A = this chain, B = another copy of it.
């Protein structure tokens, strides 16, 4: 069925394969009146581009976005914004290897099992390039959230055994380091670790963390549309994510209530929390404190070491994957996590605008 649409009011639909003509996204439900140009989106796409550092593929993807609709005189009109990124880099490679066998850790087998055949060039729709549409749409959501006073920041929290030190958190390092770690020392250690991985023809996993500031209490809905439930879906829908945590996350299963409960305090007539184990969400609704979410990302499945697998003739074979592959997915997933968080939050904030009768009567009686 249709799996390429996300959101209820701010609704995006992505399309495109790794090696097709282009990739893109249609944003429907964007409020009218937002100043928007290609540069607003391009700078987010540039953050996910490969070929920029020692640990990313040398493949040069220009990934230039073009706005095809929805803007008039520099502002959004309220009608769908179609964004397109042409594929320029796909060369007519030799795909006979991956065409005829199932790469371990990839979706090759499951796509075949579901659809009867698959686009085997560059991973088709299961390629990381699928995230271009998410990031482009996320850029628009982020611009709106910023105007609402809400900021979203994602970064690499750890790569394999190397974690950032929160006491040395340096926000400027996120954009400046190849690892997207907000800690230059951890970045250095991680790069050394990654160099080893590459030498071993292996890859490594890591963690992306995303924090949100300025989100008022009240976003998210009870029961199935809890804010954390939708954030979990949003992040788990990113390829290679195998776990999602909110606040203390997996630690809560070993914690005691006396520690895990965040005490409320009134400070200058405003409700605050002394701690934030909950990560900014209580009962599925934002509580006004910082939102904290993490995604655990598996190691790049394409490794150069030989691996066991099966070919189309159902023979057990061994393959060694060729081509250009990053030893770690995490740094390039950072901006994707930021985008998915933004899309989820903006939709929740829009839905929240009808939560009370007086919101409606104020709006229509004014």
Contacts and interface: CB of A to CB of B under 8 A. Distances in A.
Interface in A208-255: 216-218, 220-226, 228-237, 239, 241-250, 252-255
A52 interface: no
B365 A104 contact: no
Interface residues of A, number: 170
A173 interface: no
Nearest to A217: B113
Contact of A203 (B105, B197, B256): B256
A1 B225 contact: yes
A167 interface: no
A115 B356 contact: yes
Contacts of A124: 72, 77, 79
A202 B80 contact: no
B357 A144 contact: yes
Contacts of A354: 1, 9, 29, 31, 350, 353
Interface string A11-49: 101111100111110101101111000000000000000
Interface stretch (A53-61, A182-190, A306-314): A306-314
Interface in A344-366: 349-361, 363-365
- Each complex incorporates copies of this chain amounting to 4
A244 B222 CA distance: 18
A125 interface: yes
Given A79-B124, A309-B264, A15 B113 contact: no
A149 interface: yes
A167 B320 CA distance: 34
A263 interface: yes
The 9 tightest CB contacts between A and B, nearest first, are: A107-B283, A3-B221, A3-B225, A2-B29, A203-B257, A113-B217, A110-B285, A233-B233, A263-B308
7 contacts: A2-B7, A3-B225, A9-B351, A9-B354, A13-B28, A243-B249, A271-B310
Given A242-B249, A243-B243, A261-B301, 19 more contacts: A2-B10, A14-B223, A17-B70, A21-B66, A33-B358, A75-B117, A78-B222, A105-B278, A107-B283, A113-B216, A203-B257, A204-B255, A236-B246, A237-B284, A242-B278, A243-B246, A243-B249, A252-B296, A258-B303
